[in-house]
């Protein structure tokens, strides 16, 4: 196919409707900048007429250069029975002064009747006059999103086509077919998109798919195969309910699999995909999905010994693309399924060369023994690196724990409506020949230990202030043992340029947490050690 595809990102509007996501204005500006760096042709900033936050965003974003990306303001068609120039929503769109407008209108007669409570004829007038008003008054590109298009087409195809005609008659530059409920199958998307292109051969057609059947990416690609040249979606597939079409998958699929040209995109842009994907998750305070295609940390992870052995000889044996082309990297996992080839390749990735075969076999046996006790190194690279360095004698003694104590008190005072909890940790350390004793409080045992350890060590290693704990996960390993069960604790930490995970296992949850916490600090000390 010899056509150019336009990517339209709605992370800042449709994506922010996902459960658990709430952007500040500053967050939205940060994401917009990242999308511009990636090369997204259309960046939808939000709905300026719906809330003060989006209105403020459009004021502040004017001072920031997004070119060649186009900033889009989103809204709806005018209200029923009033002229377009009197509609406050459309007026706010004009005031926001974007590079392009996108408005949605109703396709389904059910929605016209029950949601708008108006006539089919008035709905058509609402679509045409709203588009026309923005074209004439705003003098900018207008994208028309046909909401519930496929459901409306199934309900009454003749009326659905009339809604598109109304938008085009009003001057719409694009007509976008929205699978708003996310329930349409790829073969129906293909058939109907092809019909629209035949009915309106000169119209530029787009697709806006939701993921309620986990088909948003497939549906978007199916629409492209049948004439759509705009794909709307969100970074990492965020969105209401089950999410939107995932641009982090769609972009490489279009470029690498379908060999299509994307406006503003080159292979240089594509190499930024993983970085931008994870950055946007970070701004939203979300943990990136490990299994996400192309950009996930597990997307090119290999665990089975047969797989690893083959990948070492020829990566294409178990990788559909070179991970570097999307800015990701190959990962070799170490587990009870691992062979010596896994260990050697993984150790090389961690910067450790195991030249002694007997030592390597001994380390592999110990790893398998530890995993049988509950350790899991495939999800804790930092702990694995420390274990390998310990076995090869390459870890300096940064500090030595002499003693540690945690006190947890529950206090009930007559003046308090509930029980007050207080947690205190005290640690005695030997650091650089000095004995250090510190005490600190925290919201719980792990937080108190973290605060105390940090307080003790930053005097000697100030760069530890760069490090923060970002995640804490506990897994009970043998539930039948009840309160005597062993637990596995993962602690994820980060600094300015890296995230790392450490693991601890014990029948005592505080001990398991302490072990993982200690290793997290040692890893940071080791990576910053000169």
pLDDT digits (tens, 9 = 90+) for 301-312: 887 767 877 887
Q: Which residues pair with 74 in a beta bridge?
A: 102
Percent over 90 (pLDDT), the chain: 72
Mean pLDDT over residues 380-406, rounded? 91
Looking at every residue in the chain, the average pLDDT score rounds to 92
Pairing assessment for the beta strands 499-506 and 487-494 based on DSSP bridges: antiparallel
Mean pLDDT over residues 369-389, rounded? 87
**pLDDT of amino acid 90:** 96
Q: What domains, with CATH codes, occur in the chain?
A: 4-265 (3.20.20.70), 301-391 (no CATH), 399-452 (3.30.160.740)
The string of DSSP letters for 152-178 reads HHHH-HHHHHHHHHHHHHHT-SEEEEE
Model confidence band, residue 360 (pLDDT cutoffs 50, 70, 90) = confident
Q: Would the pLDDT of 482 be above 70?
A: no
Model confidence band, residue 368 (pLDDT cutoffs 50, 70, 90) = confident
Region of poorest pLDDT, from 109-113, 225-229, 254-258, 298-302: 298-302
The alpha carbon torsion through 374, 378, 381, 382 (nearest 10 deg) reads -10
pLDDT digits (tens, 9 = 90+) for 20-67: 899 999 999 999 999 999 999 999 999 997 889 999 999 999 999 999
* Residue of 331, 271, 334, 342 whose CA lies nearest to 297: 331
Q: Would the pLDDT of 480 be above 70?
A: no
**pLDDT of amino acid 165:** 98
Give the span between the Cα atoms of 419 and 422, in whole angstroms: 10
Give the span between the Cα atoms of 449 and 517, in whole angstroms: 8
Element (H, E) at 499: strand 499-506
Model confidence band, residue 343 (pLDDT cutoffs 50, 70, 90) = confident
* Residue of 430, 348, 397 whose CA lies nearest to 526: 397
Q: Would the pLDDT of 341 be above 80?
A: no
Q: Would the pLDDT of 1 be above 60?
A: no
SS3 365: helix
User: Which stretches of 314-464 are DSSP H helices?
Assistant: 340-349, 357-372, 381-391, 445-457
Q: Would the pLDDT of 354 be above 70?
A: yes
Percent over 70 (pLDDT), the chain: 96
CB-based contacts of 144, cutoff 8 Å, min separation 6: 102, 103, 104, 105, 127, 131, 164, 167, 170, 172, 174, 175, 176
Neighbour-count burial of 259, counting CB atoms closer than 10 A to its CB (0-12 exposed, 13-18 middle, 19+ buried):
exposed
Element (H, E) at 46: strand 42-46
**pLDDT of amino acid 513:** 94
Give the span between the Cα atoms of 140 and 308, in whole angstroms: 54
CB-based contacts of 88, cutoff 8 Å, min separation 6: 49
**pLDDT of amino acid 373:** 85
**pLDDT of amino acid 470:** 87
pLDDT digits (tens, 9 = 90+) for 133-184: 999 998 999 999 999 999 999 999 999 999 999 999 999 999 999 999 999 9
Model confidence band, residue 418 (pLDDT cutoffs 50, 70, 90) = low
Q: Would the pLDDT of 380 be above 90?
A: no
Higher pLDDT, residue 363 or 170 = 170
Q: Would the pLDDT of 11 be above 80?
A: yes
């Amino acid at each position: 196919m010899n056509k150019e595809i336009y990517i339209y990102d709605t992370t800042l509007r449709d994506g922010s409707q996902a459960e658990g996501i709430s952007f500040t204005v500053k967050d939205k500006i940060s994401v917009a900048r990242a999308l511009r760096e990636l090369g997204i042709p259309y960046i939808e900033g939000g709905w300026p007429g719906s809330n003060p936050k989006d209105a403020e965003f459009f004021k502040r974003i004017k001072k920031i250069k997004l070119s060649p990306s186009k900033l889009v303001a989103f809204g709806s068609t005018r209200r029923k029975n009033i002229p377009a120039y009197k509609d406050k929503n459309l007026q706010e769109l004009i005031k926001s002064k974007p590079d392009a407008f996108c408005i949605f209108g109703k396709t389904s007669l059910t929605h016209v009747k029950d949601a708008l409570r108006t006539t089919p004829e008035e709905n058509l007038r609402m679509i045409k006059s709203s588009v026309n008003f923005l074209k004439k008054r705003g003098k900018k590109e207008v994208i028309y999103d046909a909401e519930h298009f496929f459901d409306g087409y199934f309900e009454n195809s003749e009326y659905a086509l009339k809604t598109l005609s109304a938008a085009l008659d009003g001057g719409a530059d694009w007509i976008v077919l929205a699978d708003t409920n996310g329930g349409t199958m790829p073969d129906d998307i293909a058939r109907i998109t092809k019909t629209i292109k035949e009915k309106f051969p000169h119209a530029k057609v787009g697709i806006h798919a939701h993921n309620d059947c986990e088909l948003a990416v497939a549906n978007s690609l199916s629409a492209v195969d049948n004439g759509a040249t705009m794909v709307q979606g969100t970074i990492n597939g965020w969105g209401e309910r089950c999410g939107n079409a995932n641009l982090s998958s769609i972009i490489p699929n279009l470029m690498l699999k379908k060999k299509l040209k994307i406006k503003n995109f080159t292979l240089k842009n594509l190499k930024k995909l993983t970085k931008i994907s994870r950055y946007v998750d970070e701004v939203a305070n979300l943990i990136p999905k490990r299994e996400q295609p192309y950009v996930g940390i597990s997307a090119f992870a290999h665990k089975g010994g047969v797989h690893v052995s083959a990948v070492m000889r020829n990566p294409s044996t178990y990788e559909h693309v070179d991970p570097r082309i999307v800015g990701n990297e190959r990962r070799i996992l170490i587990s009870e399924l691992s062979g010596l080839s896994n260990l050697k390749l993984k150790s090389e990735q961690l910067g450790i060369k195991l030249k002694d075969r007997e030592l390597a076999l001994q380390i592999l046996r110990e790893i398998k023994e530890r995993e049988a006790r509950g350790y899991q190194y495939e999800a804790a690279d930092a702990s694995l690196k420390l274990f390998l360095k310990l076995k090869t004698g390459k870890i300096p003694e940064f500090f030595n724990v002499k003693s540690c104590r945690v006190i947890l008190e529950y206090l009930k005072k007559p003046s308090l409506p509930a029980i007050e909890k207080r947690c205190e940790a005290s640690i005695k350390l030997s650091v650089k020949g000095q004995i250090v004793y510190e005490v600190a409080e925290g919201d719980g045992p792990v937080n108190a230990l973290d605060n105390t350890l940090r307080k003790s060590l930053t005097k000697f290693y100030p760069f530890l202030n760069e490090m923060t704990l970002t995640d804490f996960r506990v897994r009970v390993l043998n539930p039948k043992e009840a309160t005597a069960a062993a637990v596995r604790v993962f602690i994820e930490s980060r600094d300015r340029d890296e995230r790392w995970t450490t693991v601890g296992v014990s029948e005592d949850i505080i001990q398991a947490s302490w072990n993982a916490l200690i290793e997290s600090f040692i890893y940071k000390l080791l990576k910053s050690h000169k």
